[in-house]
Each structure stands twice: as C-alpha cells, then as structure tokens.
Amino acid sequence: MARDPNPHPDDWQPATSKPGELFTVEGRSRQAWSFLSGLKRRDRRLQPYRRSMLRSSLAVLGIGLAVVVLVSVLAAIF
C-alpha cells in the first residue's frame, strides 16, 4: 500500500508510543538523560565542537544583553 503524497489536512493519525520519540514520556526522559550525560562526558574529540557552541551562545547572549541595555537606555531618554 503506497502512502498518499498529499494527505488530506483533516486526516489524523494517533501518535505512536515507541520509546525514543520525543512526544512520549519515555522519549523525553531518554532525551534529557542523554543530554545530561553528554554534558559530563570528557571526550577530547568533543572539545572543538563545545568551544564553537560556547562562542555562538556567548555571542547570542551578548547581543541579547546589548539589546536590553539599548532598549532600557532609550526608554529612560524618551
């Protein structure tokens, strides 16, 4: 049976409960534990990746902080 490439928008299929899928309780808990174990892992191969992600996140936080300061200064002036 071939799958319809253009399903009708009113067609609904229930979510499956396979562990590992993010919309199930089991999947969410697996994802959380996997994330936490990845933070604690001391693998040297992950250091460049973590450094690049740290730079990106610090840049986003810096831009966000600058926007907040700018908005508060402009609100105080006007």
In a domain, 17, yes or no: no
Domain range for 64: 47-78
- Structural domains of the chain, count: 1
pTM: 0.49
- Count, in order, helices (H) and strands (E) of the chain: 2, 0
Mean pLDDT for back-to-back runs of 10 residues, the chain (78 residues): 62 58 72 80 82 92 97 94
In a domain, 75, yes or no: yes
In a domain, 54, yes or no: yes
Please state, in angstroms and rounded to a whole number, the distance separating the CA atoms of residues 71 and 73: 5
In a domain, 74, yes or no: yes
In a domain, 20, yes or no: no
In a domain, 10, yes or no: no
In a domain, 30, yes or no: no
In a domain, 21, yes or no: no
| DSSP 8-state symbol, 6 | S
Please state, in angstroms and rounded to a whole number, the distance separating the CA atoms of residues 45 and 27: 27
Contact yes or no for 19/30 (Cβ under 8 A): yes
